[in-house]
Structure 1
């Protein structure tokens, strides 16, 4: 850690939240109004993954549905690795979470005066509460409005997490467990590293989809929270389970545009280029099978036939139905010359969701005292080996509430931070980078070999090759990090390579095919379902 002698930090807060998606914003709004809160986000507040979520939020709302059915659907999708307590907690608190969003004013779609419920793959009933096909954006817009009216919350946009500050890294309290004291963040507008000091730090900064060449995630999804927590001494779990969304729009001018699961839920059929429907041959649930099944089926058909893509067809539905249920998808496709009411949509699988992450308990607590992880950054145990559609936004809210209850109970009575004063960042012994092209080249190489070697279908040889290349990249990046001023590109590359290493090591440790992890060398399913847990040295 680059640090000088102890001086007063730049900022002191009660709680520092990293990430401005649904998990981070929910946590900020659920904390007591007397709490001094900083939200750090490395781009604009509206640019996280949550705002890109189209489908909706899973919740038992209809009288014919039940918690037991939602729990069972989640456990089936999770292929035996879901934590039952976490699953029960999330499912049973879902109606409360929806009611909270309604109270805040989220404009959910309605029909005959009631919430309209759609169905998605893996669900046995209609239980997806949504705002047409732009649920994440609608929720984010509402929460940001609430945020702007909260005097106790300070938003730091364009700030990139550099590293967490811990007692162990500073050599403090050697006989006590590691405690988090805050973090360093790069101000992207000034290129200065500033210090944030707080007794409670909450990581809610999303997943790591950008470690792959093709992803539905925004550019901000670079695994920052997972990598920083690992470096701080936290265990990670189930990192081999990367969910590939089956249907990302395949078009040269469409970057990371997702075709919602709900299109298949409302009758969309997957076709080969010649118009042949293929999902019934892969699974009796056909297009409504869980995402891992559908993604592998598409991958198989594309490789078997040498196709660039397959097609998703919902043109049998009336135009009015499509415009009502999928207005944003319809408009975006039309902009690209695709009329989904008359022709099928070209689609390919793409990295979509990081099911594993920082190991956290049912209150979001990690192995490091004062450090919490929620949302896609965390591994709460809910998703197991494969996330059930529309459980992710739900997880964000339930664990935001759980974590903030613990934090609120441990705030000082005066409302002021009482942690030790920590050193400010010292970059007096580094220089400006003279070959930034190294960063962009390494970034491109990483994403390509992760796609080729650690994708939907894996082998021991592919994983070994990926691991070898990651080791070479890590050595280059560590040298770069030690000698040059940090930049957002360098920080993101450093984190992505760290996350890639965790994914590969986790995949190598699993000698079976389960959920999202499919290995040609170990195609069978073992009798016992055991999480993959990695511990820092």
Structure 2
């Protein structure tokens, strides 16, 4: 971003240690999804841990994940095949080392989850696995039918609660990472409704703040997914990578006036078909794998069909499913459909794509380290190189487990940091009063989400991306210079920051690759763009 947009603003809120409550910990973990929980558990083996989350422990993308977790669990599958599927889906940008590390760690970590109480669905005493788009073998394990994320999260939360040296602080809104004069991360400043501003000093910090689906009007993500972690990492000087890559889930329930609800692609893996508004099957015309094509292809195909038929949605047809089996296998979706009087044995399910997963994030190495000493990242907030330009379905929960464990281990044992144990530091950061007009944060948020959906969505073109960047830049001039005192305002500032970076990266990638599709540059251009785009805030 240009200097005008942030006016060298390092922190969103004033900081004065003389009047702010302070806590001290060895390892601070920000975020309570699968990656954050797993990081906290691992770190607690070596030190005291403080785990903070924006809402409650259940307010995460992990909790809402339906389909499952991908891992090699069947005799007809292999690491080689899972690796090949992941790399093929990543369209030339996967890090082979990251892919191999994650895939090979899968079976061990799933067995560990079972030891901790996770209850995966079984058939004849073996973990049941199913097929999803992009996978060459059935390897997606599921729990409680279509509540896999919740099943995994509950097991991890129980483990965290049973670990005495993990201090859990819910409803803690992390505003910013705190760095010292050597640009080492020394903790974070946050806000709790009951106590106000608090500073947590930490020898090492693990950022597992999730993604930013709420930057879009249409999304499967919960309200908390406003990309706060990416924005605070950007302000601290962390390198962000692949910000143009956002995955859109092809099938979310479309009921006008209702929030979008995920309809897992496992349904298509088990035989559901897509029909247009004329009740005609169409996916065979777009890809040889039809409904089992990778998510980016299915999403674009649905969008194209909607445009050609002048409709707001397409349909998912499961009328041929056994209704009782469906109810047992997919209880969450069954209940959801019934709540809208959809009889799946007779009615079609209206669906359309929605923003689902941030592939880009804070750049890390294979040890979970960022470019800032003392700061680690894992989960959806990190860019590890696993996904490349497109995520293979159900690889995200696995990535969270693998890199959560790695980041937690290193954050609790690294000996090369100059920070050591945290200590009290006198700090004062003032923010001047702006004389510019104030825009309504609620209006800006709603307008931003509509703009992102329209201009930085499933299909993109240069003119629209430039327009998005210019409009966001205008809003920033009247929002980023203000001092807010509630999470709603800070979220708005974070959403503007990250949306701008996404539009900027998408504008610069003048090709189509994976989830990034440019109407004006529809082909892959390996000669110029077989590389990652990295962004870093210029220092003052």
Range that drifts further, 391-400 or 437-446: 437-446
Partner residue, 2:504:
505
Contact 2:79-2:104 at 8 Å conserved across structures: yes
Report how far residue 410 of structure 1 moved. 2.3
> C-alpha offsets along residues 144-164 of structure 1, whole Å, 9 cap, x if unaligned?
122222211111111111111
Contact 2:39-2:409 at 8 Å conserved across structures: no
Range that drifts further, 302-311 or 388-397: 302-311
> C-alpha offsets along residues 38-81 of structure 1, whole Å, 9 cap, x if unaligned?
11111111111100000000000111101010011001111111
> C-alpha offsets along residues 410-454 of structure 1, whole Å, 9 cap, x if unaligned?
279xxx9623423467679779xx97x711011011101111111
TM superposition score normalised by structure 1 = 0.93
Q: Are 2:278 and 1:274 equivalent residues in the alignment?
A: yes
Q: Are 2:514 and 1:515 equivalent residues in the alignment?
A: yes
What secondary structure sits across from 1:51 in the alignment?
Answer: helix
Contact 2:451-2:468 at 8 Å conserved across structures: yes
Distance 2:503 2:257 in 1: 31
Distance 1:268 1:85 in 2: 35
Partner residue, 1:134:
147
Report how far residue 331 of structure 1 moved. 1.1
What secondary structure sits across from 1:10 in the alignment?
Answer: strand
User: Superposition pairs for residues 259-298 of structure 1, below 5 Å?
Assistant: 259-298=263-302
Q: Are 2:169 and 1:156 equivalent residues in the alignment?
A: yes
Q: Are 2:91 and 1:79 equivalent residues in the alignment?
A: yes
* Structure 2: runs of 5+ lacking an equivalent: 1-10
Contact 1:374-1:400 at 8 Å conserved across structures: yes
Partner residue, 1:29:
41
Match of 1:354 among 345, 358, 363: 358
TM superposition score normalised by structure 2 = 0.93
Q: CA RMSD in A?
A: 2.1
What secondary structure sits across from 2:342 in the alignment?
Answer: coil
What secondary structure sits across from 1:39 in the alignment?
Answer: strand
Partner residue, 2:332:
328
Q: Compared with structure 1, are the counterparts of its residues 418 and 320 closer, same or farther at alpha carbon in structure 2 (3 Å cutoff)?
A: same
What secondary structure sits across from 1:480 in the alignment?
Answer: coil
Report how far residue 297 of structure 1 moved. 0.2
Report how far residue 281 of structure 1 moved. 0.3
Aligned residues: 521
Report how far residue 21 of structure 1 moved. 0.6
Q: Are 2:424 and 1:421 equivalent residues in the alignment?
A: yes
Distance 1:115 1:193 in 2: 46
What secondary structure sits across from 1:247 in the alignment?
Answer: strand
Partner residue, 2:246:
242
Distance 1:505 1:93 in 2: 35
Distance 2:248 2:340 in 1: 23
> C-alpha offsets along residues 208-245 of structure 1, whole Å, 9 cap, x if unaligned?
11100000000010111111111111111111111000
Q: Compared with structure 1, are the counterparts of its residues 39 and 425 closer, same or farther at alpha carbon in structure 2 (3 Å cutoff)?
A: farther
Q: Compared with structure 1, are the counterparts of its residues 151 and 411 closer, same or farther at alpha carbon in structure 2 (3 Å cutoff)?
A: farther
Match of 1:114 among 126, 129, 136: 126
Match of 1:147 among 135, 160, 178: 160
Partner residue, 2:61:
49
Report how far residue 524 of structure 1 moved. 1.2
Q: Are 2:255 and 1:251 equivalent residues in the alignment?
A: yes
Contact 2:433-2:482 at 8 Å conserved across structures: no
Partner residue, 2:76:
64
Contact 1:236-1:534 at 8 Å conserved across structures: yes
Contact 1:218-1:256 at 8 Å conserved across structures: no
Report how far residue 334 of structure 1 moved. 0.6
Report how far residue 120 of structure 1 moved. 0.5
Partner residue, 2:448:
446
Q: Are 2:178 and 1:165 equivalent residues in the alignment?
A: yes
Contact 1:179-1:370 at 8 Å conserved across structures: yes
Contact 1:234-1:535 at 8 Å conserved across structures: yes
Q: Are 2:536 and 1:535 equivalent residues in the alignment?
A: yes
